[in-house]
Every structure is written in C-alpha cells, then in structure tokens.
Amino acid sequence: MPESLYYNTVVDSEGVKLAGQQTPFTFRTTDALEAVKRLNVGGQFVSPARDTGMYRTWEADDEYVTSSDIGVLPVNTTIQLNYGEQVPNYTAPDPVYTTARTMGRDKRINLSYKLTWSVEVDTNFYYLVRLHFCEFQIEINKPLDRVFRIFINSQLVEGHADVIEWSGKGVPVYRDFAVALYDSQKKRTKLSVALGARPDGSTLYSDAILNGLEIFKISNPDKNLAGLNPDPVPNKRPPPPGPPQSSKAPSSLSKAVKIAIVAGGTSGFTILSLLAFFLYRRRNRAKDSIKYWVVPDHHVSVVSDES
C-alpha cells in the first residue's frame, strides 16, 4: 500500500502505537488493509451515497457499546468544521465529526467505568484501529479541559488524550493504533476499544469523547487476508469411559424368553396329542357299533350288534 493513501506518514512518521508493546508498528508497501468495521459513534447510519465520495458505509454504534453505562450523545450540526492538511475533508463525512458519544458530566460515575466498544474479528492478524475526534461542545475550549485515557483490548495506548491540544476546537483529527490478535485455538475473537476518564487535577472535566471508529485487518506477511476455515478443533481430552454395564439383565431376559417359547411349544404339542387321541377313539367306536357286508343279490344289510 503506497504511503499517505490511507495512513498518514506525517502524523505517524515513526509508526503507530502497538498495544502492549514498546516497539511501534510500521507499515510496509506490501501491506494490504481490509475494512472490518466503520462506526459513526453517537450518530446515525451513513450510507455510501452520503460519504465523502469514497462510498463507505458508517454504521451506528449502539449495538457495539458493551460497557455498563452507555454515556450520552452530544450533537452540534451548526459548527463549522475546519479540515487541515493532515486530515483532509474526505477522511470521514461531516456527520461523524458533528456527533459523538461521551461519558457525561457525572464525575463520580465516569471514574467508575470505561466507555467500551467491542467488535468481533478474525484471529491471527494485526489490526489498525483508527479513532476519530472533534471537540464541538461549548464547555470544551482549551487544552486540559477534557483529558482522558484510551485502551485497546485492555492495554493502555494513550494516557493523555487531549483533542483540543491535538487539533483545536472544531478541527477533526484522528489517531491510529495497532493491536495483534493471535490465538491458535479460536477462529474469531473480540477487539475492544475503551475510554477512561482521568481524575481531578489532570483535567477540568473527568470525561471522554469519541466521534468515529474504523477497524482494518492488516494482511499477513504472505499477503493473506483470509481467516481460518474451517474452525480449529478444540484440544480437549475424550471423556472417561462410563462404568461397565451388567450383562445379567439381558441374560435373564433371554432365558425367560427361551422358557416361554419351550413352555408354549410343549403346551401346543400336548393339546394336539389329546385332540388326536379323542378323534381316534371316536372313530374306533363308530366302527365297532356298525358292520357292513355284501350279499350275492347286491343288497346291503345292516345288522346291529345289540340284536
């Protein structure tokens, strides 16, 4: 990817802060970027037709806020945005910089949580996280009015975020960070961005602000952007074998079936034998009570034994 096409070599001349590491992440001309998510933080959906000519889609961030408190949503559609050379007007559409999500004015609550967003991404890649800022609230006018901390995946990447100090009021600005998400056992994981308020003494307002969020997947050294497919097989031991089942019940059942079959066969044979015996006796009695013979004139005489 050529320099200055999508990352600023002037702002990030020494690379971008890599979460959890002292050495910054530096881009190579062979690196490719894949847009994973674009959020209009605190604002509404922005269609490609309303983008800055780059036909990007910016989603509302509501469903990605995962902190216990969702903060408040200030808006200022009348402010005149002043773009500079470092952040040209095609960086993000105006609705991104005129809406925001802040922690609110309750200092006690703000110090008790971190305003957090979470997005599901592929594992085993580096990611570029771009945060868009623009101070447009009436009460924020000079450096130290609102200073906060930035965390990526629970790692502190910026301990003194002061948007007025970075750019001025009504001047859009962004900051880039990188994070490595490697896990051999998972195909997908969560990438989180969190903002934390600073206590009294270091800022006038213990608050934080974010206007927009972009997440890009950075290609591997082999120029690959594809995620794992299929899902890795979990490294789990097979469950222990259960107790051996007793064979007495099946044997008893089989034995009972055999006995029933033998008993049924014997009973049937006995009944048939008795029936045959009675038929045989009845036939013999009929022969004994009546006798037949033939006389010469071919008449048949019948003589009873009782005479």
Q: What's the pLDDT tens digit per position in 133-149?
A: 999 999 999 999 999 99
Residue 123 DSSP SS3: coil
Q: What's the pLDDT tens digit per position in 79-92?
A: 999 998 889 999 99
Nearest to 27 by CA among 51, 56, 4: 4
**Residue 255 pLDDT grade (very low, low, confident, very high; cuts 50, 70, 90):** low
Residue 167 pLDDT > 70: yes
Least trusted range by pLDDT, from 15-24, 138-147, 222-231 = 222-231
Residue 109 pLDDT > 80: yes
Residue 301 pLDDT > 50: no
Sequence-ordered strand ranges (E) for 172-229? 173-181, 188-197, 209-210, 212-218
Q: Going by C-beta distance under 8 Å and a sequence separation of 6 or more, which residues neighbour residue 242? A: none
Residue 304 pLDDT > 60: no
For domain 17-218, the CATH superfamily is: Galactose-binding lectin (2.60.120.430)
Q: What is the pLDDT of residue 11?
A: 55
H or E stretch covering 251: helix 248-289
**How many residues can be counted in the chain?**
307
Q: What is the pLDDT of residue 254?
A: 54
Distance set, CA 225 to CA 20, 21, 31, 152, 217 (Å): 23, 23, 10, 21, 7
H or E stretch covering 287: helix 248-289
Q: Which residues of 278-296 are buried (b: 16+ CB within 10 A; e: fewer)?
A: eeeeeeeeeeeeeeeeeee
Q: Supply 177's token pair.
A: 């960070």
Q: What's the pLDDT tens digit per position in 39-75?
A: 999 999 999 999 999 999 999 999 999 999 999 999 9
Q: Confirm if 169 and 82 have CB atoms less than 8 A apart.
A: no
The single-letter code of the amino acid at 190 is: K
* Whole-number percent of the chain with pLDDT over 70: 70
Q: What is the pLDDT of residue 299?
A: 41
How do the domains of the chain map onto residue ranges?
17-218, 249-304
Q: In what order do the strands lie in the sheet with 115-122?
A: 115-122, 188-197, 148-152, 155-161
Q: What is the pLDDT of residue 284?
A: 56
Q: What's the pLDDT tens digit per position in 205-215?
A: 999 999 999 99
Q: Confirm if 59 and 38 have CB atoms less than 8 A apart.
A: yes
